[in-house]
């Protein structure tokens, strides 16, 4: 079996179908003659191209299997033009169901016991819940049980958000920098020491931090930092074995470590709340997020979140309470996924969870990447609500007075990161037959949200104009750990 | 020197700059760590990645050179993050100018004489002007002189449109199928026997058609069909040697062949004009194009044309009169290039040819691929006029009565090729600060065009709603020659 | 973590180090400037290129880890010339040991119970031991215990030979075709339904054969045939859980199925022995192998076996008794690996198992691919014994009389599959300072083998000249299942 | 037309045919299922894979065309197993001849005039004849005429050797370093400023050296150094236009520049001759080459030369007198090509030039890479003579006394660059039915050569044992210009 390079870095089990030229015209200069397989090889876990109608089912079965089994990834099946347009009298059977559920595995029990001992002996333990926990069939349930029983302090990576609730009593995500920096033992549950976790290296981590790690991918252990106890296996199944073996033990919340984390979290929380409470207009990011946070607290919503500051701040301001309720730009920070994700989420909700709502929160730059998907959403009458946190630029926009100054000659080069000032994106949605509102205050956002979600057909865009110079709350460390830092 | 695969099929000399992760973080899971070079290798004529600041100028010089020299193509230079953020005190010099103009070559004179003899001896000669003629520095001037002096009947491939004027007295593009099918000698000037020319094979061409061909790329000769006289060299320079050597000779327009071509062209022209003159609403494509054709006849306009029927019909309905005045989806039929092309064209016109206007004519589907670029065009205040030939679908939309029938439940699966009925795309342009109009009749289109081009700042969208079942005029042969035909 | 395409098909954990040009000379036409990483990408599980001295240890650690963890595969690290020649005062530390032993996993116990039930319920069970069992740390021990306890009939794939002894009482490899064709339940232990097992499809297998499968690679299940019970995990660890759970149960050797297998095996064995006993000269393959078989029965020998008929017949005629004692051309049938494998085996034996001998048995064609490695073996004085089963051709040579007929003009085209008749390859070994003998009879082979292995320094080549028209014993089915069969 | 990356760096027009698995078995784990096209993409100018019998001719025609047209390169056509074994009743026609001779081009006459003026105005002109001149159909004839008429001093790159004779009165290859370093104007005829010419940069060239360059590849101009006059076209055809236009002009051999070159060449020649004349044994390289040089002076011989010192010194000691009479490791310095080249050369000579002899001169390391091809050469009875310049190592071997010292325990690690001391490679040739001699003195080499070439059937190996510490004559500059030097 071939498992392809890089292809599982982002972990989306996606099956793409291509359509090259008729194979018999290859080499002649056919319409869209191209080596599609080669072009996508590096991005895909598996790539193939059926050569006859009767081999298509086996190719599709294998593609779907590769996308879903092991660590998930994208796959690609190229159907050349001649197959697309051929028919056959012959009966072609398809394996059913395609494919069967992924097989799972667990670490040997001795390793699990070793992991438990390492956790018990930790002075400053920290649990980090990652994306892998979200992909495991029983991951969320088992992570929640483990956190409840072990009483360990924990936080989540962006991809692990929602596996357990951010409102959980021992969630200390607000003390993230401190927690990473001082933990003596880290329990990675489907999380990796890549850039998001600053490679697990000093100064962001202790030099001799002990690592206990559950992962489905054997090559992922010892990445950048030695893994003290590697637990190879499915996360849900592994925790299902591990948690009961904790026995009566639970972490003592009265320790200095836990207290320090709590205090730091509370301090950071207060700093945020100060910004949240500042309702002066034009609004800052945190204030704009306040009515959204309030809405989410009381509803079952799939959140699609995309942008730079908008996504970074959104992770904090939109606590994840439920599994599989958050989609964002992922490990690669890929812009342009927002409205497409929303479309897929709305179709899923319509068929599988009619009470679940779909909310997109995007920066204005991020919105622009996939805004035209609104036409599709409108055409299918899907009740997607999009809030654009619109600061008229990327990272920051022009101040209104600056904008006026150059108004006389807008053909002059504008700063490359600024977008149209107070652009009326909500009118796009109106043009496509949906609703659109422009808002500038907290009450307006709140009212607009409520109204939008009362609607059950077609999209709404809420264009929330905020200050062009709003920023993230000051951070101790830069988000991106670089080679020279 | 490396010249890369496939990379010159589309012939755009484009230089792309990428930005991977810091090289020292490779292998660690860095932010956007990716083998960019490998991913674009197949699509680029040249790919490289500088490793230090002082090697950047040589990498850029070589990249630009490869993009422009020989047959043009896209190139890619990956600047890793660490170089983007480094500075140096050292002086780094850059070759100047970068690069020098491309060197050119011509065939040996004996080959040119042989070509002339072959043309003189032809009973049913046909000149086909292709994309290569457009890329050659002196291509247009020399092609025009050749056509004038030789008096040969000619037509152009889509990429060769405008090298000589479609209004030229011996342009017989309206008799294309007949001309290809019956010609005994074809003179390819920078054109290739790929799918666009039906591979040069029967039944679309004579089995023993004699080919005289000028091309810059030696491997292109004998492609699919033997080249009787291969003229390897720059098109402009080669014709500059060839035309004077025609001496007193010119093709005799009184022959049966020329008469037949003329008659066929006239017959086809009349069939088109019948559609043009049918102004009943909702309009058909040809009628909608009529005021555009009229406008173009009297103005210097760069036309960007994109879509399925819209582009196919646009090639006929918008005669090209001048070189370098038409941009479309090219050999690959790549959708999504429209507004980006228009942006580039408008910037070029602003700086180099202020009287030249920019007109985009797109189908509604094509518009959707790059519509958000309107925000950029508006932000830079560029006077781009877009006419959307809006049939509410791809190839065809729902009929209004069909649309009503499913209105009650638009969540039902719509036909996959239909788009939002009579979607108000022009409002997008308004939302971004530009102008927008919806039109439904020939006079409305005409008036809207005139008004739009009086404006010298910012974009206008003219949303021309036409019949959902308008079609191309019936064609004798399918546009796409397939392997089984 | 990136795991690369195709790269684990052959499963050799090999680390290759390359050396491209100085990075700062890239793009200039440097000596051996080449995109090595791209060139090997498809063949490697992991590819990387350090950019500074201090990143080399991390690159090597990751490369070794990827080669060994999960399903093994080849990896590639390119060290550009500038790193090869640079030194540093800085201390560069290396992770120790590199890497830690691979983490292992096992299937959930419920799956193991399901597997046991399926085996118990089989009417015509068959165990197939594959290459994966050989790569698992505890694979051989656990497979042997399972076979002993379960009393199931079994056979091995070429890569699985030696995991358990071919002399085991229930090994029915001689009845392979029958066993595959009639089994109702197959237990694949690290084996795959690829071409070697005829894709698991009719007519070589039952249409509804039940498959129980242990594999380390999740994507490998359901390949070509549905897996009834997929056991994802390390083979040794999984069997360590499974075997004890068999309890008192064992397969009943008195069944019709087992009797039929036995009888068929015995019939085939006798057919082979008839050939073995035919000592007429020139010898046939089986007779030539007889003294080798005898020698192996009484010694601890690493066998390297390579060729077409020589390898096919060698699998039968050289029973594998011990794990990790056989190297051959593998799943890909790659010729040219023989003497290199022998060199590596001899170095390993010298350092880790001084009583273990190294024997190469190659066809004359196979020998030619890597014969020059004998110079290296001789230079290092390693006691490698090579028997060339020399039929003067590929599949078959010229008959001596034919050879004579064309002797007058050997510049005439010889049949493309024939090699030099009775070529004296043993003299090559003499030329390099080793021993060489030519032999033609069974006693000569026997004596030569004994003498060669008494020598403890330097190589010996025994050139065994056999009949040019010797063949494999007739087979019911072609070894290669093709698409049209 | 696609022209592939890197693929023309070595410029060999080679057509390779592969044979992957049956296409219908792809994805199933078929025998040698592999993406061959992707694996060779980077190394080939063109890659394709026919999908049916009737498309094979067009694929082969295009492959051969791509290999030969423009700058030559390797191409690859993969014939999947199912096509190899299929037959058809249908008539399949093949284009004839395949392909037609490559079309050629020349620069515009004005450019040629400019080149002539630049050469006339040079104070210190230098002509460098490169590989491109060897590949041009009329290259050699025209270069010779140009050199005769222009009277300019010249030298050749390794790939350009023999285009004109090294014995030409104005060949100043012995003064290469001086000539490159001081020339004010360089006329590159099919040569490139890559590592072989030290990138055309200081200190090996003048900073402001004027470059006149003829090349078939437009992207090759301005590489590393600006090209003052780029002459794009076929070398032979271009010189056929240029030389007559020199008119009465010729370079004045009485200038200081020419005198200095001559003196330097003479000084270097004398230094070499001193080594040539030192016949003490064990011989040095130059003395060993002396009888070879003598033999070549009087015979028409295709020389295959491969090795490190052996190749470097061979370029000087074996003057090239005729075009297409020298094959060596090429721009990439690829070892392992020797005996294969000889085999091809001998087949060519047999059919096209029966008086032309084939001589291989290889170092012992180089011989080892392809020595087994001797069996093929012997089998086909081809009269190839190989002289191994055997210094018992790579660059240098052990001194005999050192070798004795470790003889007691040869299992100890030998220095990695030493090979078997005085290895008797000639016995390999005897083993295959050819001749073999070991020689140690100049008269022995001379006698052996004479005897070997009297033989007209089958190969001879002359194993010339020389000193283990012989070296190249001291060089002012290292052969390899590195980034930091």
When CB atoms are compared, the residue of B42, B333, B375 closest to A39 is: B42
Interface of C with D in 456-475 (CB under 8 A): 457
pLDDT digits (tens, 9 = 90+) for D81-106: 999 888 888 887 776 677 788 999 99
Span D319-342, mean pLDDT?
94
Give the DSSP letter string of D269-281.
HHHHHHHHH---S
Three-state DSSP class for residue C397: strand
Give the DSSP letter string of A89-114.
SS-----SSSSPPPP--B--HHHHHH
Which residue of D lies nearest to A25 if distances are taken between CA atoms?
D55
Give percent of chain D with pLDDT exceeding 70: 93
- What tokens does A44 get? 């895909």
Confidence class of residue C343 from pLDDT cuts 50, 70 and 90?
A: very high
Give the DSSP letter string of B255-268.
SHHHHHHHHHHHHH
Chain CA centroid to CA C61, Å: 27
CB contact under 8 A, D24 and A58: no
* Strand residues in B152-236 grouped as ranges (E): 154-156, 185-189, 210-215, 229-232
Q: Which chains form contacts with chain A, at 3 or more CB pairs under 8 Å?
A: B, C, D
Count of pairs with CB atoms under 8 A, one residue in B, one in C: 42
| Rounded Cα distance, A268 and A288, in Å | 18
Mutation test of the interface with chain A: which of D37, D43, D51, choosing the one with the most A Cβ atoms within 10 A? D51
Please tell me which of A3-12, C128-137, D8-17, D85-94 the model is most confident about, judged by mean pLDDT. C128-137
Confidence class of residue D404 from pLDDT cuts 50, 70 and 90?
A: low
CB contact under 8 A, C222 and A95: yes
Span C262-270, mean pLDDT?
97
Three-state DSSP class for residue A473: coil
Question: What angle (nearest 5°) sits at the alpha carbon of residue A478, between those of residues A472 and A481?
Answer: 145
Tell me the Cα Rg of chain B.
Answer: 25
Which residue of A lies nearest to D41 if distances are taken between CA atoms?
A38
Contact at 8 Å (CB) between C176 and C155?
A: yes
CB contact under 8 A, D3 and B5: yes
Buried b / exposed e over B2-36, threshold 16 CB at 10 Å, is bbbbbbbbbbebebbebebbbbbbbbbbbbbbbbb
When CB atoms are compared, the residue of D21, D192, D480 closest to C31 is: D480
For position B481, what pLDDT does the model report? Answer: 75
Those residues with Cβ within 8 angstroms of residue D270's Cβ, 6 or more apart along the chain or in another chain: none
The one-digit pLDDT tens for each residue of chain A (485 residues) are 344 434 565 567 788 888 888 998 999 999 999 989 998 988 899 999 998 998 999 999 999 999 999 999 999 999 999 998 888 888 877 776 777 889 999 999 999 999 999 999 999 999 999 999 999 999 999 999 999 999 999 999 999 999 999 999 999 999 999 999 999 999 999 999 999 999 999 999 999 999 999 999 999 999 999 999 999 999 999 999 999 999 999 999 999 999 999 999 999 999 999 999 999 999 999 999 999 999 999 999 999 999 999 999 999 999 999 999 999 999 989 999 999 999 999 999 999 999 999 999 999 999 999 999 999 999 999 999 999 999 998 887 776 666 665 655 655 567 778 888 899 999 999 999 999 999 999 999 999 999 999 999 999 999 999 999 887 777 777 777 776 53
Question: Whose CA is closest to C360, among C333, C328, C320, C313?
Answer: C328
For position B198, what pLDDT does the model report? Answer: 96
How far off is chain C from D197, nearest CA to CA, in Å?
10
Question: What angle (nearest 5°) sits at the alpha carbon of residue C250, between those of residues C244 and C256?
Answer: 155
Residue C348, φ and ψ in degrees, nearest 5: -65, -45
CB contact under 8 A, B420 and A433: yes
Which residue of D lies nearest to B233 if distances are taken between CA atoms?
D105
| Rounded Cα distance, B408 and B416, in Å | 18
Confidence class of residue D236 from pLDDT cuts 50, 70 and 90?
A: very high
- What tokens does C47 get? 């590819």
Residues of chain D in contact with residue B232, where contact means CB-CB under 8 angstroms, are 103-105
Contact at 8 Å (CB) between A157 and A191?
A: yes
CB contact under 8 A, D58 and A28: yes
Which residue of A lies nearest to D29 if distances are taken between CA atoms?
A1
Residues of chain C in contact with residue A60, where contact means CB-CB under 8 angstroms, are none
CB contact under 8 A, C32 and D333: yes
Confidence class of residue C301 from pLDDT cuts 50, 70 and 90?
A: very high
CB contact under 8 A, D375 and C368: yes
Contact at 8 Å (CB) between B138 and B236?
A: yes
Question: Whose CA is closest to B423, among A369, A336, A374?
Answer: A374
CB contact under 8 A, D3 and B219: yes
CB contact under 8 A, B69 and D221: yes
CB contact under 8 A, D105 and B100: no
When CB atoms are compared, the residue of C26, C38, C62 closest to B51 is: C26
For the cut 80, the answer to whether the pLDDT of residue C408 exceeds it is no
For position C96, what pLDDT does the model report? Answer: 66
Mutation test of the interface with chain C: which of D39, D427, D483, D484, choosing the one with the most C Cβ atoms within 10 A? D483
Confidence class of residue C93 from pLDDT cuts 50, 70 and 90?
A: confident
CB contact under 8 A, A82 and B483: yes
Which residue of D lies nearest to C432 if distances are taken between CA atoms?
D423
Span C62-89, mean pLDDT?
91
Mutation test of the interface with chain A: which of B7, B25, B221, B346, choosing the one with the most A Cβ atoms within 10 A? B25
Question: Whose CA is closest to D434, among C414, C463, C420, C465?
Answer: C420
| Rounded Cα distance, D164 and D169, in Å | 11
Residue D211, φ and ψ in degrees, nearest 5: -115, 125
Those residues with Cβ within 8 angstroms of residue D254's Cβ, 6 or more apart along the chain or in another chain: none
Contact at 8 Å (CB) between C63 and C46?
A: yes
Contact at 8 Å (CB) between A50 and A19?
A: no
When CB atoms are compared, the residue of A28, A38, A59 closest to D38 is: A38
Give the DSSP letter string of D201-235.
-TTTS-TT-EEEEEES-GGGTTSSS--SEEEES-H
Which residue of A lies nearest to B457 if distances are taken between CA atoms?
A411
For the cut 50, the answer to whether the pLDDT of residue D46 exceeds it is yes
The residue behind tokens 């691979």 is C102
Question: Whose CA is closest to B461, among B370, B392, B361?
Answer: B361
Mutation test of the interface with chain B: which of A28, A377, A412, choosing the one with the most B Cβ atoms within 10 A? A28
Stretch among A240-244, B121-125, C248-252, D51-55 having the lowest mean pLDDT:
D51-55
Which residue of A lies nearest to B43 if distances are taken between CA atoms?
A39
For the cut 60, the answer to whether the pLDDT of residue D408 exceeds it is no
| Count of other CB atoms within 10 angstroms of residue D38 | 20
Residues of chain A in contact with residue C71, where contact means CB-CB under 8 angstroms, are 1
CB contact under 8 A, B380 and A410: yes
CB contact under 8 A, C58 and B27: yes
Contact at 8 Å (CB) between D184 and D122?
A: yes
How far off is chain D from B428, nearest CA to CA, in Å?
41
Contact at 8 Å (CB) between D366 and D388?
A: no
Whether the bond between D282 and the residue before it is cis, its omega within 30 degrees of 0, is yes
Question: Does C246 contact D at CB distance below 8 Å?
Answer: no
Those residues with Cβ within 8 angstroms of residue C96's Cβ, 6 or more apart along the chain or in another chain: none
CB contact under 8 A, D480 and C332: no
Question: Whose CA is closest to A452, among A469, A467, A470, A439?
Answer: A439
pLDDT digits (tens, 9 = 90+) for C428-473: 999 999 999 999 999 999 999 999 999 999 999 999 999 998 877 7
| Rounded Cα distance, D339 and D332, in Å | 18
Chain CA centroid to CA C135, Å: 12
Three-state DSSP class for residue B232: strand
| Count of other CB atoms within 10 angstroms of residue A247 | 8
For the cut 90, the answer to whether the pLDDT of residue D469 exceeds it is no
Residues of chain A in contact with residue D59, where contact means CB-CB under 8 angstroms, are 27
Interface of A with B in 44-83 (CB under 8 A): 81-82
Contact at 8 Å (CB) between D134 and D323?
A: yes
Give the DSSP letter string of C63-117.
HHHHHHSSS---EEEE--HHHHT---SS-----SSSSPPPP--B--HHHHHHHHH
For position C164, what pLDDT does the model report? Answer: 98
Span C18-26, mean pLDDT?
88
Contact at 8 Å (CB) between D124 and D184?
A: yes
For position D26, what pLDDT does the model report? Answer: 92
pLDDT digits (tens, 9 = 90+) for A92-115: 777 767 778 899 999 999 999 999
Buried b / exposed e over B171-181, threshold 16 CB at 10 Å, is bbbbbbebbbb
How far off is chain D from B290, nearest CA to CA, in Å?
38
Contact at 8 Å (CB) between D392 and D421?
A: yes
Whether the bond between B99 and the residue before it is cis, its omega within 30 degrees of 0, is yes
Those residues with Cβ within 8 angstroms of residue B402's Cβ, 6 or more apart along the chain or in another chain: none
Which residue of C lies nearest to A67 if distances are taken between CA atoms?
C219
Confidence class of residue D3 from pLDDT cuts 50, 70 and 90?
A: very low
Running DSSP on this structure, what letter comes out for residue B74? -
The residue behind tokens 């010892």 is A222
For position B90, what pLDDT does the model report? Answer: 81
When CB atoms are compared, the residue of D25, D199, D332 closest to C483 is: D25
Running DSSP on this structure, what letter comes out for residue A18? E
Contact at 8 Å (CB) between C112 and C241?
A: yes
**ipTM here:** 0.93
Which residue of D lies nearest to A60 if distances are taken between CA atoms?
D27
Chain CA centroid to CA D234, Å: 20
C-alpha distances out from residue C352 to C341, C345, C357, Å? 16, 10, 12
For position A485, what pLDDT does the model report? Answer: 36
CB contact under 8 A, A218 and C70: yes
Q: Which chains form contacts with chain D, at 3 or more CB pairs under 8 Å?
A: A, B, C
Residues of chain A in contact with residue B408, where contact means CB-CB under 8 angstroms, are none
Three-state DSSP class for residue B438: strand
Interface of B with D in 332-391 (CB under 8 A): none
| Rounded Cα distance, C64 and C52, in Å | 19
How far off is chain D from B130, nearest CA to CA, in Å?
15
Please tell me which of A73-87, C408-422, D445-459 the model is most confident about, judged by mean pLDDT. D445-459
Q: Which helix (H) or strand (E) is D77 found in, with range?
A: strand D75-78
Q: Name the pairing type of β-strands B357-363 and B435-439.
A: unpaired
For position B89, what pLDDT does the model report? Answer: 84
For position D86, what pLDDT does the model report? Answer: 84
* Full set of structural domains in chain B with CATH: 1-103 (3.40.50.970), 109-263 (3.40.50.1220), 278-465 (3.40.50.970)
Residues of chain B predicted below pLDDT 70? 1-11, 96, 399-413, 483-485
């Amino acid at each position: 079996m071939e498992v392809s390079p890089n292809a599982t870095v982002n972990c989306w089990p996606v099956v793409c179908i291509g359509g090259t030229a008729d194979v018999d015209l290859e080499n002649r200069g056919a319409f869209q003659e191209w080596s599609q397989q080669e072009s996508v090889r590096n991005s895909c876990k598996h790539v193939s191209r059926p050569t006859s109608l009767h081999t298509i089912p086996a190719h599709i079965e294998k593609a779907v299997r590769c996308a879903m089994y092991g660590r998930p990834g994208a796959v690609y099946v190229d159907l050349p033009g001649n197959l697309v347009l051929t028919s056959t009298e012959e009966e072609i059977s398809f394996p059913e169901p395609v494919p069967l559920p992924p097989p799972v595995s667990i670490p040997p029990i001795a390793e699990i016991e070793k992991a438990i001992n390492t956790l018990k002996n930790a002075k400053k333990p920290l649990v980090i819940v990652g994306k892998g926990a979200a992909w495991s069939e029983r991951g969320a349930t088992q992570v929640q049980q483990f956190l409840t029983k072990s009483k360990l302090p924990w936080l989540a990576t962006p991809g692990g958000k929602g596996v357990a609730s951010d409102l959980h009593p021992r969630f200390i995500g607000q003390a993230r920098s401190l927690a990473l920096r001082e933990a003596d033992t880290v329990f990675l549950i489907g999380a990796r020491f890549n850039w998001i976790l600053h490679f697990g290296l000093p100064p962001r981590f202790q030099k001799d931090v002990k690592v206990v790690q559950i992962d489905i991918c054997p090559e992922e252990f010892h990445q950048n930092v030695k893994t003290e106890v590697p637990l190879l296996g499915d996360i849900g199944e592994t925790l299902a074995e591990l948690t009961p073996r904790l026995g009566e033990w639970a972490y003592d919340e009265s320790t200095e470590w836990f207290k320090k984390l709590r205090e730091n979290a509370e301090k950071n929380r207060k700093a945020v709340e100060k910004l949240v409470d500042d309702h002066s207009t034009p609004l800052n990011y945190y204030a704009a997020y306040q009515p959204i946070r309030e809405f989410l607290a009381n509803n079952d919503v799939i959140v699609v979140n995309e942008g730079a500051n908008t996504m970074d701040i959104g992770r904090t301001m939109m606590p994840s309470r439920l599994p599989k309720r958050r989609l964002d730009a992922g490990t690669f920070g890929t812009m342009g996924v927002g409205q497409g994700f929303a479309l897929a989420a709305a179709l899923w909700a319509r068929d599988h969870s009619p009470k679940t709502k779909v909310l997109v929160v995007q920066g204005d730059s991020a919105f622009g990447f996939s805004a035209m998907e609104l036409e599709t959403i409108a055409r299918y009458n899907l009740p997607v609500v999009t809030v654009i946190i619109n600061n008229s630029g990327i990272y920051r926009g022009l101040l209104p007075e600056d904008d006026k100054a150059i108004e006389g000659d807008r053909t002059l080069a504008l700063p490359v990161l600024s977008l149209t000032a107070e652009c009326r994106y909500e009118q796009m949605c109106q043009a496509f037959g949906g609703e659109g509102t422009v808002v500038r205050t907290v009450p307006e956002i709140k009212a607009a949200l409520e109204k939008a979600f009362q609607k059950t057909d077609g999209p709404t865009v809420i264009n929330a104009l905020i200050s062009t110079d709003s920023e993230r709350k000051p951070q101790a460390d830069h988000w991106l750990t670089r080679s020279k830092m």
